[in-house]
Structure 1
Amino acid sequence: MDKNRLISIKEEKRAKIIENLLQNDLIELVEDKVVLKGDYYKNQLRIALRNCDIINPFDIEEYIAFDGYLALHNVLTNLSQREVVDIMKNSLLRGRGGAGFPTGKKWEEAFTFDADQKYIICNADEGDPGAFMDRSILEKDPHSVLEGMAIGGYAIGANKGFIYVRAEYPQAVKTLKHAIEEAKTLGLLGKDIFKSGFDFDIELRLGSGAFVCGEGTALIESIEGHRGMPRPKLQRTAHVGLWGKPTIINNVETFANVAPIILNGAEWFRSIGTEKSPGTKVFSLVGKIENAGLVEVPMGTKLRDIVFDIGGGCQNNKEYKAVQTGGPSGGCIPKEYLDVAVDFESLASIGSIMGSGGMVVMDENTCMMDIAKYFLEFSVDESCGKCIPCREGTRRMYEILELITEGKAQMSDLEELENLAHVVSDTSLCGLGQTAPNPVITTLKYYKDEYIAHIVDKKCPAKSCKPLITYTISDKCIGCTLCKKNCPVDAIQGELKVKHSIDIEKCIKCGSCYEVCPVKPVKAVEIY
């Protein structure tokens, strides 16, 4: 395929796609740019998600219609490897997988390292609870990733790429397989791409769902056929990676940003976001939020704008309490930091991290000890067990949190929990263990009064921890019998139009009586 064929496909397809989307009232044109309609999208800027929900991911010509593979053509016919690396360096694009390492710097390390074979790996092992950013890009715009990988392959001198994707994402696997075959059929992958002499192929490798394989060296071990366990960081993977060869690993969102940077220039990308964190970031906004979904905003956008302007605030008009950024490795951000800028430096300054982009919103009824326990349980289950601090330390931390939420802890346990959190963070081998204590560290920092209430008063301020709550029926009861009818264990006694009572011995604290009680404005069923 040559440039003329790309342009003809673009002109032929683009007008038809836009006309169809306009007829179905799905998009609007803003300065000749396609923008999805609706209040949810008006405060967003879509670069990585630019084609999602606009093109058919199973039709490569629709990707081409929106400038697809033009960046690769420009790179292979007009730019040297050094020039491509310099563009990426000047763009200041930082890895979107969590660590935020400069992409151009990483590519330069592999480019300048002499070797007979080099590799490009796309890390699509997204496993954070509630995160679906990368999976959505793979399912809805796979060619943006393939094109970014091919450009990266040319830049560092690699002719082989691997996409490490979770096997439990069958739709993403299906879409990627189809996209790779389409690209090969049109000569956009394979031998002598655009008659430039550049060869580049991509293969899929299916992961088995181990969260630790999101760590680069563990991922490499898995591709090589070994158990996915992190390696000691004695050498950079840009020098010694897959099968001992220079290897670049970037995540899905990072590769999806590459082609737009090539087409629009490094200065254009730096004009978006902040000085140190340019561009946009994709978040999966989930939890107790009115408008859940994928959000892409410029770096530096205030957390308040994401949660309230885009997300619509907490469900059922509940009060915002916290947001967890960065998945199980991140921290909980209280309401006093709602005006923090969402970028790498600002989040780190308050004890959280950007991570891959998970954003879980919590309301007034959320117990922060329970949240810390939930995320820590995930880290305990996903620890590979190679290093003692992570394997044993996270488990002991979880056990202490269990004691706290059951009302069985002492104040000395709180001191031990805090000490353990810092030891695990400082001494674990890889990022999983180093960041696993973050939910504990931030909740201790911002919600220590709730910890003390659990330990000293044996009360859960959020009225969420079952061992620490009691349900009673007050004199406001009108005897409607709804609570009695809905109790799954027959713990409620009473007759029609007569005040009911709860047998504490039988009560399993499921909360069904509280949910169905119709007395307004204050429920007859009370929680202590």
Structure 2
Amino acid sequence: MALTPVLTKRFGTNAPWRIDNYERLDGYAGLRKALTMQPDELIALVKESNLRGRGGAGFPTGMKWQFIPQAKPGEPSKPHYVVINADEGEPGTCRDLPLMMNDPHSMIEGVIIACYAVRAAHAFVYIRGEAVHAIRRVTQAVNEAYAHGYLGDNVLGSGLRFDITVHGGAGAYICGEETALLDSLEGKRGQPRLKPPFPATNGLYDAPTVVNNVGTLASVPYIVLGGAAWHKKMGPDGSPGTSIYSLSGRVKNPGQYEAPMGTTLRELLEMAGGMSRGKDLKFWTPGGSSTPLFTAEHLDVPLDFDSVGKAGSMNGTSAVMIFDTDDSVVQAVLKWTQFYEHESCGKCTPCREGNYWTAQILERIWHGEGVLADLDTLLDVSDNIFGRSFCALGDGATSCIMSSIKYFRDEYLALIAKNPNSGLDAGSSQAPALTGASA
């Protein structure tokens, strides 16, 4: 399929992270245009474009900006902040890092425009601590922006000052949750806050704060230049624009593929050269390990927020992990659950205790020591985690468990039947032979 890159249009050019090369390809033209508009006009433009957050939840960006309370003339007001969530830690997710490495100025330009729109003077880019190269690349780009007059005093003669601070996190997955990220920025332990109040009114330093993803803000300069109607031409009405899909696993050419929202896995596999080992597709994640699994039956589901939701999963971070018929769904779910067990911040009991027990049960099943009652226990514990934790980590951790049992119950039963004390007969119809899975 013929594609016109937007977010990745500078990828592969001569050192696109350098500001001189960025400026040659429309760099900071969107900011110049934005500063000729009123802040409320910018918010209305982004709202009309229906840009939805690329961090996973898909919340409308313009609406999030609009939630920032603006003081009336003569009234005292708290400072406003813009925070960029670059704490990319979801298994299988790898699209913010390539953006920051190849084209950091597109994010920085979007950050400055967002600051102007919500009347903020200071922004913070929170980057996952392990991403040392990205921290260095973004820091270099921020310094270039200061040197060229896009940051600091009197930006482009506007009389306004904008500052950006790059902050390296300590490598905690929980800090991808926006309120845990804010606590971490404030020097506290990264744990999710109880909501309400929400960051829009009580965010960083208890002040009104917009928290946006890297890809979300990198899209903003293109929308300012192209307009809302241009943006809505790409992808479906409910989820317009393009997305960077991260393809990994059993695919010939893994990597990042930019395509309009609503592209199907069948089309993405065609772009990536197909399955890598000549085996059939067995299961896959549409938006990272925290989203319910899909099977080969879902090859033609449009990968956008609304369509994936209707099909029973979440578009999430567009992290597409692909598994073939030689892969075990139980082993994959075990590895993911162990990750969530390790990364749980421990603040709430359902997530802290529930992920510990589901990991133990899955490990028993995988090693042929499970019993028939384990499946009911897994579902029961997952049900007690889902909707009962402070943040979405608990919900996400249960997604792969519940969806894998829904689609691949026979595979669990076949492993359980290996235990002579499981209550199952390995040759019975209750426990079909394990096919297409490595034991």
Fold shared per TM-score above 0.5: yes
Correspondent of 1:241 among 203, 215, 221: 203
- Per the TM alignment, residue 350 of structure 1 is displaced from its structure 2 partner at its CA by 3.0
Using the TM superposition, give the Cα deviation of residue 442 of structure 1 relative to its aligned residue in structure 2, in angstroms. 1.1
C-alpha displacement at 1:423, in angstroms?
Answer: 1.7
Secondary structure at the counterpart of residue 129 of structure 1: coil
Conserved in 2, the CA contact under 8 Å of 1:365 and 1:463?
yes
Is 1:85 the equivalent of 2:59? Answer: no
Contact 1:106 1:238 in 2 (8 A): yes
- Asked if structure 2 preserves the Cα contact closer than 8 Å seen for 1:283 and 1:357, the reply is yes
Q: Does 1:103 align with 2:61?
A: yes
Counterpart of 2:129 (choices 167, 177, 190) is 167
Aligned residue for 1:315, secondary structure, equals coil
Alignment-derived partner of residue 370 in structure 2: 409
1:317 aligns with 2:283: no
Question: 1:330, 1:355 within 8 Å by CA — same for their partners in 2?
Answer: yes
Alignment-derived partner of residue 351 in structure 2: 390
The percentage of aligned residue pairs carrying the same residue is 38
Instruction: Find the structure with the greater CA-based Rg.
Output: 1
Structure 2 CA distance for aligned equivalents of residues 389 and 327 of structure 1: 22
Which residue is equivalent to 1:48?
A: 7
> Which one of the candidate residues 320, 328, 353 is aligned to 1:359?
320
Give the secondary-structure state (helix, strand or coil) at the position aligned to 2:394. Answer: helix
SS class of match (1:433) = helix
Q: Tell which has more relative contact order, 1 or 2 (C-alpha 8 A, sep 6+).
A: 2
Amino acid at match of 2:314: I
Per the alignment, in what secondary structure is the counterpart of residue 199 of structure 2?
A: coil
Deviation of 1:44 (Å): 3.9
Write the mapping of 1:301-340 to structure 2, written as runs, cut at 5 A. 301-307=263-269, 309-340=270-301
Distance 1:151 1:270 in 2: 20
Q: Deviations over 1:1-49 (max 9, x none)?
A: xxxxxxxxxxxxxxxxxxxxxxxxxxxxxxxxxxxxxxxxx54442222
- Partner of 1:384, secondary structure, is coil
Name which of structure 1's ranges 108-117 and 154-163 shifts more when overlaid on structure 2. 108-117
> How many pairs are equivalent?
422
Equivalence for 1:297: 259
The CA distance in 1 between the partners of 2:145 and 2:162, in whole Å, is: 11
Residue of structure 1 equivalent to 2:246 = 284
- What residue identity is the alignment partner of 2:438? S
Query: Which residue number in structure 2 is paired with residue 34 of structure 1?
Result: none
Supply the distance in 2 between the matched residues of 1:129 and 1:116 (Cα, whole angstroms).
37
Provide the secondary structure at the position in 2 that maps to 1:328: coil
2:315 equivalent to 1:345: no
SS in 1 for 2:316: coil
Partner residue in 2 for 1:253: 215
| Aligned partners of 1:351 and 1:438 also within 8 Å | no
Matched residues in 2 for 1:229 and 1:190: separation? 32
Paired letter, 2:397: A
1:208 aligned partner: 170
4+ residue segments displaced more than 3 Å: 42-45, 111-114
1:281–1:298 contact (8 Å) kept in structure 2 = yes
Cα 1:367–1:289 shift into 2, 3 Å: same
Q: Deviations over 1:311-330 (max 9, x none)?
A: 22211211111112222211
Check the 8 A contact 1:111/1:157 in 2, yes or no.
no
Alpha carbons of 1:258 and 1:126: their partners in 2 closer, same or farther (altered >3 Å)? same
The aligned residue for residue 502 of structure 1 is none
Q: Could you tell me which amino acid in structure 2 is paired with residue 104 of structure 1?
A: G
User: Hey, what does 2:383 align to over in structure 1?
Assistant: 422
Query: For residue 161 of structure 2, what is the amino acid of its counterpart?
Result: D
Per the alignment, do residues 174 and 69 of structure 1 end up closer, same or farther by CA in structure 2, a change over 3 Å counting?
same
Does 2:80 align with 1:121?
A: no
Q: Does the alignment pair 1:264 with 2:226?
A: yes
Alignment deviations for residues 474-506 of structure 1 (CA, whole Å, 9 cap, x no partner)? xxxxxxxxxxxxxxxxxxxxxxxxxxxxxxxxx
Q: Distance in 2 between matches of 1:112 and 1:322?
A: 47
Contact kept, 8 Å, 1:113 with 1:246, in 2: the verdict is: no
List runs of 5+ in structure 1 lacking aligned partners.
1-41, 466-528
Secondary structure class of the residue paired with 1:64: helix
SS in structure 1 of the partner of residue 268 of structure 2: helix
Q: Cα deviations across residues 257-313 of structure 1 (Å, max 9, x unaligned)?
A: 000000000111111101111111111101011111101111111121112x11222
SS in 1 for 2:190: coil
2:354 alignment partner AA: G
1:152 aligns with 2:114: yes
CA RMSD of aligned residues (A): 1.4
- Residue of structure 2 equivalent to 1:17: none
How far apart are residue 58 of structure 1 and its match?
4.2
SS in 2 for 1:282: strand
Q: Distance in 2 between matches of 1:63 and 1:365?
A: 44
Q: Cα distance, 1:121 vs. partner?
A: 0.7
SS at match of 1:248: strand
Using the alignment, how far apart are the partners of 1:211 and 1:55 within structure 2? 33
Instruction: Specify which of 59, 67, 80 is matched with residue 18 of structure 2.
Output: 59
1:22 is aligned to none
**Structural mapping, 1:172-183, within 5 Å:** 172-183=134-145
Q: Is the 8 A contact 1:134 1:252 kept in 2?
A: yes
